[in-house]
Amino acid sequence: MDHVRPGIVNLMAGVEVKLGFHRPLVARRKSGRVVKVLLSAYACEPGRGSEPGIGWNMARTLAKQHQVWVLTSHSHQIATETELACHPVDNLHVVYLDPPDWALGPFRRGSGWAVYPHYYLWQLWAYFVGRSLHRQVGFDLSHHVTYLKYSVPSFLSLLPIPFFFGPVGGGESAPKMFWKDFTFQQRMFELARSCARTVGEWDPFVRMTVRRSRVAWGATEETAERLRRLGARHVEVSSGVALNQEEIQILEQLAAPAASPMRFICMGRLLHWKGFHLGLRAFAQSGLSNAEFWILGDGPERQSLESISADLGVADQVKFWGELDRQSALARIGECDVLVHPSLHDSGGWVCLEAMAAGRPVICLDLGGPALQVTDECGYSISAGAPAQAVDDLAIAMTRLAGDPDLCRRMGKAGQRRVKGHLTWDDHAETATTEYRRVV
């Protein structure tokens, strides 16, 4: 099987899977035997952020040390094949699959919540494809990477080889004290999210997935605790996001911002749980006259945020940039001094890593993924006890940084060191490799 040429292989009736074998197979164990990893990455695409970027970067980086067969959806095929045609990756074999139409019925892939029925069926289909591949290849282990959702099963755990789960997230919740700022519809969203998570935890296949995992990584402390309660025998906490060396180099080259005015920036989808309203209130409370508050992104909360800035009397200091492409967004980071990221339940927090790599201090809440990334050396991780207390402490952090440029620079440098030393995809792959070797 090591020398099979690319082509279409009928792994089972009704399923055609393209095996993309790119360049020679070179990764080997110390014993000389090839290490073979079956990776489940429903979302996996180069040049993307969020879930597709996580799947692609894990697959590409693991292939530096192992032979990796990655299972992913056909929706990522064009971008992935285009990238691999220009930049082949040793030992990375891409298998595209989706359930046939007759199996999907009304659950064809959609967007938003509609994607999850398709995702569940895809996981089931991936098991049959993975089982057929295992008979041909003889994998040493399987590893679920995306989606980063602990409450949906990965049926690859049923294969007769060690199974690794994660990092996965989704166990985070907005503290109940912060719900009083939400509208009725926003509270219903949070309640529906919590109910969906509970239903997932009672799914016997989710419990099977967690209990059969040799190692389960939680992307946050909250998710790790839920994995333990579901019966995982070995749980570790590991950030679900990272940066590659190319991204770090680009971010490091961003010039230092102008000395005046002091600029704070928030980035992301304008959703209620992202906490932009808390950042705006803190900025107004700080009373910084020679400062600006930039908001990058778009979403249903934009009108509400514009109203808040007007009501607080800081509309002339607040600038809404809307949704920008990646290059333009990075350029805006380069024009600002501090990232403010008061998200209430964020498993990842990719923007925090980008700001840290760019040498900008980060002010966040002590919740979810950002709480793992931001230390006292590179920013402020604010306790989320209550909205008023969080706003007070966010305002104090803004005032301190605005009044101490040297502190800004020290924290920025510390953030760059932390990203390069602990939060790269190479670090993630090394963590996984250490556990692979321990188990296999």
Q: How many CA atoms lie within 13 A of 71 on its CB side?
A: 32
pLDDT at 386 over 60: yes
Is residue 375 one of the residues assigned to a domain?
yes
- One-letter amino acid of 62: L
Looking at the chain, the whole-number percentage of residues with pLDDT higher than 90 is: 75
pLDDT band for 20, please (50, 70, 90 cuts).
Answer: very low
Tell me, yes or no, whether 432 and 400 share the same domain.
no
Tell me, yes or no, whether 413 and 367 share the same domain.
yes
Is residue 2 one of the residues assigned to a domain?
no
* Residue 26: per-residue pLDDT: 46
Is residue 109 one of the residues assigned to a domain?
yes
Tell me, yes or no, whether 370 and 277 share the same domain.
yes
pLDDT band for 379, please (50, 70, 90 cuts).
Answer: very high
Tell me, yes or no, whether 216 and 118 share the same domain.
yes
pTM of the entire structure? 0.87
pLDDT at 274 over 80: yes
42-56, 113-127, 365-379, range with the lowest pLDDT: 113-127
8-22, 84-98, 101-115, range with the lowest pLDDT: 8-22
How many structural domains comprise the chain? 2
pLDDT at 305 over 80: yes
224-228, 244-248, 364-368, range with the lowest pLDDT: 244-248
State the Cα–Cα distance between residues 355 and 341, nearest whole angstrom.
Answer: 10
* Residue 187: per-residue pLDDT: 95
State the Cα–Cα distance between residues 193 and 331, nearest whole angstrom.
Answer: 34
Tell me, yes or no, whether 399 and 430 share the same domain.
no
pLDDT at 106 over 80: no
What tokens does 271 get?
A: 């959703």
Instruction: Give the mean pLDDT of the chain.
Output: 88
Residue 83 DSSP one-character state: H
* Residue 107: per-residue pLDDT: 54
Task: Give residue-wise pLDDT tens across range 127-180.
Answer: 999 999 999 999 999 999 999 999 999 999 999 999 999 899 999 999 999 999
- One-letter amino acid of 141: L
pLDDT band for 112, please (50, 70, 90 cuts).
Answer: low
Tell me, yes or no, whether 208 and 252 share the same domain.
no
Tell me, yes or no, whether 318 and 435 share the same domain.
no
Residue length, the chain?
440
In three state form, how does the secondary structure of 405-417 look?
HHHHHHHHHHHHH
* Residue 110: per-residue pLDDT: 54
Is residue 203 one of the residues assigned to a domain?
yes
pLDDT at 19 over 70: no
pLDDT band for 234, please (50, 70, 90 cuts).
Answer: very high
Residue 371 DSSP one-character state: H
pLDDT at 39 over 80: yes
- One-letter amino acid of 335: E
pLDDT at 15 over 70: no
Tell me, yes or no, whether 233 and 265 share the same domain.
no
Is residue 41 one of the residues assigned to a domain?
yes
* Residue 115: per-residue pLDDT: 75
The CATH number assigned to the domain holding 228 equals: 3.40.50.2000
Tell me, yes or no, whether 266 and 297 share the same domain.
yes
Residues 6+ apart with CB under 8 A from 229: none
Tell me, yes or no, whether 293 and 202 share the same domain.
no
Q: What mean pLDDT do residues 231-254 have?
A: 91
Q: What mean pLDDT do residues 59-72 have?
A: 95
Tell me, yes or no, whether 65 and 13 share the same domain.
yes
Answer whether 266's CB lies under 8 Å from 362's CB.
no
* Residue 109: per-residue pLDDT: 56
Tell me, yes or no, whether 313 and 409 share the same domain.
yes
Vertex 190, ends 166 and 179: CA angle to 5°?
120
Instruction: Count other C-beta atoms under 10 Å from residue 318's C-beta.
Output: 21
* Residue 384: per-residue pLDDT: 94
Helices (H) and strands (E) in the chain, counts: 16, 15
18-22, 235-239, 324-328, range with the lowest pLDDT: 18-22
Is residue 75 one of the residues assigned to a domain?
yes
* Residue 98: per-residue pLDDT: 85
* Residue 325: per-residue pLDDT: 86
Answer whether 339's CB lies under 8 Å from 307's CB.
no
Q: What mean pLDDT do residues 290-299 have?
A: 94
pLDDT at 229 over 50: yes
Structural domain boundaries enclosing 130? 7-242+424-439
